[in-house]
Structure 1
Amino acid sequence: MAGQWMMILIGVSLGMTCLAAPTECHFNSQALCEYEGRHYSLGQSWMEQGCIQCTCLHPFGVGCCETVEQPVDFPPWCQVRVESVTCKVSLVLTSDPRLPCLPGEGNSVDPSHGEMNMKLAG
């Protein structure tokens, strides 16, 4: 019975932590509630590199969830860029990551080929 309550507590805590519709979560019962030299107590959260939010579930361990939902349906000439500080996701052109990639109707020409390249160059 105590094991069931522990799993419910962990599930509720992870669910509350991951409001950003995480793509993956994990729980480590051996992990310490510590990150970059700072100690955390029960219920406290912190953001790790890679946009992973962790919550201290002491004495049970640490639960972590990805907070960035990566797009999966975009043209091959686009790539996903995740800003590590803000965890903001955007699509950029593979040929020039400084430019946004705007997939959709009217933007169906691969900019690395043909007519669109001539318009950009001239």
Structure 2
Amino acid sequence: MKMEMASVNWVLAAAGFLLWTSGGSAAPMECHFDSRALCVFEGRHFSLGETWMDNACMQCTCLHPVGVGCCETVHRPVDFPAWCQVRVEPATCKVSLVQTADPRLPCYPGDDFKDPSHGSLQLQQQLGG
């Protein structure tokens, strides 16, 4: 019973740390805990307290034997036009805004640019703007 309580206390402390470190003035980053997860990623086994970065830019911490806690490592913008979308590069965890209609093109929210579905961005580009 003492071991179980110590594990639970450690998990609560670790979860609090994960939530505290992911805070800030930007949009809150999400964390989750999976009590059924094993401390294994891409064939590598991790020990209590070890961390790793998964393919979705989540930093995970082994909380063995009680599970795995993971938190986002990137701040995602929350205030941008509907014609834009957030793109996160899996290899670098770099965040960028791209146009929903053509994700190869960057999205520049603001008064100078309008929704490209109405042709104004294309017209500005043609005029050298």
**TM bin (shorter chain):** 0.7 to 0.9
Give the letter for the 1:116 counterpart.
Answer: L
Q: How many residues align?
A: 121
Query: Which range is displaced more, 56-65 or 98-107?
Result: 98-107
Structure 1 residue 86: Cα displacement: 1.4
Structure 1 residues 76 and 30: CA distance shift in structure 2, 3 A? closer
Match of 1:117 among 95, 114, 122: 122
Structure 1 residue 48: Cα displacement: 1.4
Q: Are 1:9 and 2:10 matched, yes or no?
A: yes
Name the residue aligned to 2:62: 56
Structure 1 residues 115 and 88: CA distance shift in structure 2, 3 A? closer
Name the residue aligned to 2:102: 96
**What is the TM-score when the length of structure 2 is the normalising length?**
0.74
Matches within 5 A, 1:1-80: 2=2, 5-17=6-18, 19-21=21-23, 23-80=29-86
Structure 2 residues not aligned, in runs of 5+: none
Structure 1 residue 8: Cα displacement: 3.6
Structure 1 residue 62: Cα displacement: 1.4
8 Å contact from structure 1 (residues 80, 90) kept in 2: yes
Secondary structure of the equivalent of 2:116? coil
Query: Which range is displaced more, 109-118 or 77-86?
Result: 109-118
Structure 1 residues not aligned, in runs of 5+: none
Structure 1 residues 93 and 9: CA distance shift in structure 2, 3 A? same
**What is the TM-score when the length of structure 1 is the normalising length?**
0.77
Name the CA distance, whole Å, in 1 between partners of 2:39 and 2:119: 54
Name the CA distance, whole Å, in 2 between partners of 1:86 and 1:12: 29
Structure 1 vs Structure 2 CA RMSD: 2.5
Match of 1:85 among 70, 81, 91: 91
